[in-house]
Amino acid sequence: MKTKTNTSFSWPAGFKGPNNSLVHMYDIKGLLSSVGVKPSKRLSQNFLINDAVIEAEIGFANLSGTDTVLDIGAGFGFLTEKLSGNAKKTIAVELDKRLAVYLKTRFRGNRNIEVVQGDILELVKGLEFDKVVANIPYEISSPLTFAILEKGFKLAIICYQKEFADRMVAKPGTKDYSRLSVMTSYFADAKILMRVPKQSFYPQPKVDSAVVSMTLKKERPYTVKDEKFFFGVVASLFQHKKQTVRNALKHSLNRLMLTKEGFRKVGLPNGLESRRVFTLTGQEMAKVAEEVGRHARSD
């Protein structure tokens, strides 16, 4: 049986109106109840209720009156409101229809806030923004990060699960080094700005989080002839990250459009084929991709 979505929202007793700065941590349960929302694990609905973290994110973003900011997973608009006071325009995207109704009601009088209901992964290509400041649904961390990196921006300040953040900034040869590390460093300079304790969220997640900054690079750090193919090679290699590059390629023939004959012709320079995948830099992976591409099928 489908649940009917409310088309309007009334402020519950005990809460101030849309101009209230932030509900207290102990009020979050009442606010959820009033909107009819039970936090969903599937949607990664863990609401940041620590005002100090929100203020820190605003500071990290270095906003100006010319910035258009994207807030992803806007929830109850705690961050959205503070962004709107520091930027030219804030685009607040929320998947949950009930929360989107709430946001539109709360910010009805704010001309520089645009509330968009929908899936950010489907919307991001069509949105125009300079900066991203968001406490994102962790379930979409990977596809969302790749999507905004390819879309482009000046600066992103995003709260991720700590483990994910560690992988974003990991260096070659470390246990956290991954496809994400290579992709992030190819597009942007990333660093962890602060750790966020799990107690800062409701419902409380099992692990801590971290705020990460990403500044898009003006130029790519190394030459890649075919980015799509390069990304595919990186993904294939990291499916076998502890194997040698040669063996990782051998186990990825179909995915890389390599025949057995083509694979035998692949000749990697400087002993790369005997290196473990997780020790290669992004530039070295680009060399692997270029050589593999020379022998891959074009169909």
Q: What is the DSSP pairing of strand 201-202 with strand 47-48?
A: antiparallel
**Hey, which bits of the chain come out as E strands?**
47-48, 68-72, 89-94, 113-117, 131-135, 155-161, 188-196, 201-202, 209-216
Q: State the Cα–Cα distance between residues 8 and 31, nearest whole angstrom.
A: 15
Domain segments of the chain as ranges: 25-216, 227-295
Hey, how many other C-beta atoms are within 10 angstroms of the C-beta on 61?
22
Of 236, 269, 239, 256, nearest to 296 (Cα)?
256
In CATH, 25-216 is 3.40.50.150: yes
| Domains 25-216 and 227-295 in one fold | no
Helices (H), 42-107: 51-61, 78-84, 97-106
What are the pLDDT tens digits along the chain (299 aa)? 444 444 444 444 443 333 344 445 548 888 899 899 999 998 999 999 999 999 999 999 999 999 999 999 999 999 999 999 999 999 999 999 999 999 999 999 999 999 999 999 999 999 999 999 999 999 999 999 999 999 999 999 999 999 999 999 999 999 999 999 999 999 999 999 999 999 999 999 999 999 999 999 999 999 999 999 999 999 999 999 999 999 999 999 999 999 999 999 999 987 999 999 999 999 999 999 999 999 998 75
Q: Is 176 helix (H, G, I), strand (E, B) or coil?
A: coil
Partner residues linked to 117 by β-bridges? 94
> Pairing mode, if any, of strands 47-48 and 89-94?
unpaired
Who's near 229: CB < 8 A, 6+ residues apart? Answer: 289, 293, 296
pLDDT at residue number 24: 53
**CA gap 3, 262 in Å, rounded:** 55
227-295: CATH class: mainly alpha
Task: Tell me how far apart the alpha carbons of residues 149 and 129 are, in angstroms, rounded to a whole number.
Answer: 13
Contact 121, 43 (CB under 8 A): no
pTM of the prediction?
0.88
